[in-house]
Amino acid sequence: MIRLSEVRREGFAGLTTSFAMVPEVVGFAFVLGVNPRAGLIAAFFVGLITALLGGRPGMISGG
């Protein structure tokens, strides 16, 4: 059974990782000459797909 405290902890960890990835994604977008919005959208979907289909304990799926 999933505990509310565990959901909060995991959600906070995911949110923190997401905020930490923003400067990296925007920087790579500028280097590649791509709109930063496109990079942020792509990073969101890659993270979502990885979290839903490939997550394992101890695996970091962020940039």
What is the per-residue pLDDT for 63? 55
Q: Is 62 within a domain? A: no
What is the per-residue pLDDT for 62? 60
Q: Which residues lie below 8 Å from residue 52, measured CB to CB, with a gap of 6+?
A: none
Q: How far is CA 16 from CA 2, 32, 56, in A?
A: 21, 25, 18
Q: Is 58 within a domain? A: no
- pLDDT tens string 15-58: 888 888 899 999 999 999 999 999 999 888 887 887 777 666 66
Q: Is 37 within a domain? A: yes
Q: Is 59 within a domain? A: no
Task: Look at the chain and report how many structural domains it folds into.
Answer: 1
Q: Where residue 7 falls among pLDDT bands split at 50, 70, 90?
A: confident
What is the per-residue pLDDT for 52? 76
| Cα–Cα distance, 27 to 39 (Å, whole number) | 9
Q: Is 60 within a domain? A: no
27: domain range? 4-53
What is the per-residue pLDDT for 38? 93
Question: Which among 18, 16, 10 is positioned nearest to 43, based on CA atoms?
Answer: 18
Two tokens, residue 62: 């962020």
N-term to C-term CA, the chain? 30
